[in-house]
Structure 1
């Protein structure tokens, strides 16, 4: 499915920065064009949730943070800890692309996202770009992009331990360490645990009275960043999380069947690895990265375990990205990239037999040109997908800053949603 969008707006430069000393020129974003830019140079509605915002909000989960963002609605299947659907600008949740550190989540066969694998203690910022970015990211980026950027960089020294309790027998504990082991080697390490007996997230009067739908989540993070030279870094980040969440399938008696009291549980196990190199010199920045993500999902009646699951679903995703950014002059920025992705899915035979895979290769170019108070931003991308063939998307925007910190913007572009693995099989 392809969509073409045209928009005009009168917008102030905005970010959710609580520190009044931070100006828009100092706030930088990387999500809009996959290159670092001042937020005042981006011709798209962008919201940045900073680390200060996170700490002041007292939020315990990513969905709670996203509720702070204009134009976003959150839906959750079951209680807290369940799979979350994010709706942006009234569109479907599958039209929102979610990234962690710029990498797609391996969730190509569902519309929801498991945000429980990302403790807020490990998040530095969340960048939300509203509007189509298909010419930058390819499929799924129809209504917007959410990029969750984790903490820990060379030179930082963070030691954080926290614990808390709350209603519904909620308990949490987090450990996060980020420090330089040597003048070249930086390490990030994190542990997280939270648990709650929950509440009745789907009450069916007279059927599931007294039921509670709880969750339990544990995660571990290990990252290494090594400075090969003043211009070249290599890195590897690994993350593992395991969560169980309860949900309800109860229903009252009707003409279609008798009363049903059914409480179910989902076991979700996620493993991800990302490694690569980054190079910067004068007016050039380049990065080459490979990532692997795997999800294992088991569903069974509450009180059982994943060994007797009634439904299983395994997904894997391989990603390779090569990005090159050139500052050609004080007025012209050029960014080019290549993405390759292979999605794999295997379930219990209900929809697919064995392992089914699908690759996608995309190339894109973005140019940003500034002259006086006018900014022009153009992008084009071509995707070759094993299932649906080739597709070209484009985006064009122009902005005029007629008064300091206020800009008139006109934009048009195309975007598309590739069929998911379940759509095809």
Structure 2
């Protein structure tokens, strides 16, 4: 097979590179580990100084995370430029992440460089990730499929966990109490002694939940508790081989009796770094992860089972990577891997399986002293969709030691997921509508026809079961960076074009008046705008940082319809039906035109005290089309007005080992009003102010 030849070629290149690396040497070891406080690895899969990367990358340090007093990944991400947290529609009300207007379905989440699974509804709930053991968080904006494949169509978030540094046992224990009886306890300890090191982390979170709809008997977020356990071991075998292994387990249960909602997330990672020479190394990696849920919705009146949504996804991935530095600032990276993925879900007729293989290559070099170029590509094959080639090119030019220009262009893709291919679901609780994935829709329609449940078939028989294509994107980023004295500033212009986005469509109408839905490649959308970030050291212990994003996000098909005069709406003031123009089109749902953040961090070393004030603003955004013209326009009444969240944290260290934090998230007690609430019913946007206190003991 062609694939086997391609993979064989990759391993041949790796072997030849390793032999070459044994025979060449340069005075500078460019792949050695540098000062990790300013080093990122996600953007290029090699160690690079943050200030030198020719891509839009955000680094959130451990110190920043600890000073804010937050405990979950979604909380810290929400304070970053160009990032917006969006609610998850699944039980529990968790949050996904939107980057540069790109929905959370298309953002890849990594822990120590390996992917997290568990998108039961397309969204990955980031509130399940504790951040008490995080060294840093790296965010790469724009398509990153050239290195990470599917789901990296809009960007990558990599959580880098902490590594032990002390030769004696050290760690910390802490407890945080907050509004809504939110109780969070965590303990960590580690040691690095000679060739061996370990780090252990345990976290427990519980809460009484909260309610955003006073007229609803159930809570918006039900009471729950969860546990996170994480262990990592490092050991060296001689001078050339370093071994890293880790395991993580997460368990969560919601109190929604008589219904049930439990989830488990576990993964095991083994990585071997083989230093072939001063300039070459190989990484061998084995990774296994499993995400499991047990969700059953039961009628509280008669205990009748309404919906069962058990979900069991497993991924096993071996991968090999090779890095070789021909000389300083000239590094070749190649790699290959295999994904074995299965999903057993109660909403599917059978257990389904994906197999995919991939190879990637990247060359990071400096043709001249002031110019850095990174060129790379990845080739993926898949058992259920066409092969994908994802190239990427980026460059950075330093005019001087203060001012630089950087730009990148790359292609990304997202494979059709299990749900879009194999879902076989009829909602007994929702009046009997059905949803079929592309691979089972023909069989599902035939089953309904046989049972005399179909009143009218909307699509042609020949259209049923036609293969879905992978969703594609091309992303462009270009901007300038300025660093001088106390000031660091950068501006980035971006555009992301998406094609073949998968949307739902009506396949048939049922005899009971309900519809049968399926999936189709249809949408073509784009996001564009700019981001601006600035950091300023006002004085030695007083730092300010701020960021702003301007975003436009539109559907190309809707714009064409507007330009052709095919869209109408009703003016709420005159109640007259009018022909809409492009100026009336607000854009895609849940996107704000303006978002900004501002942070002030202040330290008083002689008192062992610190304080920080963080402000996040989001301008108005629309939730859905309410006037029936199939797009979100300025005449819709589904807009949430702009609002600001103000967060304050105060910290004080006692006796060198104890730290007390007091804080208030949403200090101004913003609650807002959801416009989708029915008449005489109130649905809030935010539960209000959340006070917390935290005590930590270092040992």
Report the TM-score, using the length of structure 2 for normalisation.
0.52
Q: Give the C-alpha shift of residue 208 in structure 1.
A: 2.3
* Alignment partners' CA distance in 2, 1:303 and 1:122: 40
Report whether the alignment pairs 1:216 with 2:228: no
The secondary structure found in structure 2 opposite 1:267 is strand
Q: Determine the structure 1 residue equivalent to 2:385.
A: 388
CA 1:208–1:132: 2 relative to 1, 3 Å: same
Say whether the 8 Å CA contact 2:105–2:124 is kept in structure 1: no
Say whether the 8 Å CA contact 1:172–1:195 is kept in structure 2: yes
Say whether the 8 Å CA contact 1:246–1:302 is kept in structure 2: no
Report whether the alignment pairs 1:316 with 2:314: yes
Per-residue CA deviation, residues 264-303 of structure 1 (Å, 9 max, x unaligned), is: 6521111111112112341123211111111111113489
Q: Give the C-alpha shift of residue 78 in structure 1.
A: 7.0
Say whether the 8 Å CA contact 1:79–1:213 is kept in structure 2: no
The secondary structure found in structure 1 opposite 2:74 is helix
CA 1:155–1:164: 2 relative to 1, 3 Å: closer
CA 1:238–1:295: 2 relative to 1, 3 Å: same
| Equivalent residue for 1:187, pick from 188, 198, 211 | 198
CA 1:75–1:211: 2 relative to 1, 3 Å: closer
Q: Determine the structure 2 residue equivalent to 1:73.
A: 84
| Equivalent residue for 2:288, pick from 287, 292, 305 | 292
CA 1:212–1:45: 2 relative to 1, 3 Å: closer
Q: Determine the structure 2 residue equivalent to 1:344.
A: 342
Report whether the alignment pairs 1:373 with 2:364: no
Q: Determine the structure 1 residue equivalent to 2:141.
A: 130
Q: Determine the structure 2 residue equivalent to 1:111.
A: 122
Report the aligned-residue RMSD: 2.8
Matches within 5 A, 1:24-423: 27-77=38-88, 82-107=93-118, 110-153=121-164, 158-180=170-192, 182-201=193-212, 203=213, 205-208=214-217, 213-245=222-254, 265-280=260-275, 281-301=277-297, 310-348=308-346, 350-353=347-350, 355-370=351-366, 371-423=368-420
CA 1:72–1:265: 2 relative to 1, 3 Å: farther
The secondary structure found in structure 2 opposite 1:120 is coil
The secondary structure found in structure 2 opposite 1:136 is helix
Q: Give the C-alpha shift of residue 345 in structure 1.
A: 0.2
Q: Give the C-alpha shift of residue 225 in structure 1.
A: 1.5
* Alignment partners' CA distance in 2, 1:48 and 1:352: 43
Q: Determine the structure 2 residue equivalent to 1:258.
A: none
* Alignment partners' CA distance in 1, 2:45 and 2:113: 8
Gaps of 5+ in 1: 1-22, 248-261
The secondary structure found in structure 1 opposite 2:75 is helix
Structure number with higher relative contact order (C-alpha < 8 Å, ≥ 6 residues apart) = 1
How many residue pairs were aligned? 383
* Alignment partners' CA distance in 2, 1:364 and 1:210: 47
* Alignment partners' CA distance in 1, 2:91 and 2:371: 45
Per-residue CA deviation, residues 1-44 of structure 1 (Å, 9 max, x unaligned), is: xxxxxxxxxxxxxxxxxxxxxx9996111000111111122111
Report the TM-score, using the length of structure 1 for normalisation.
0.83
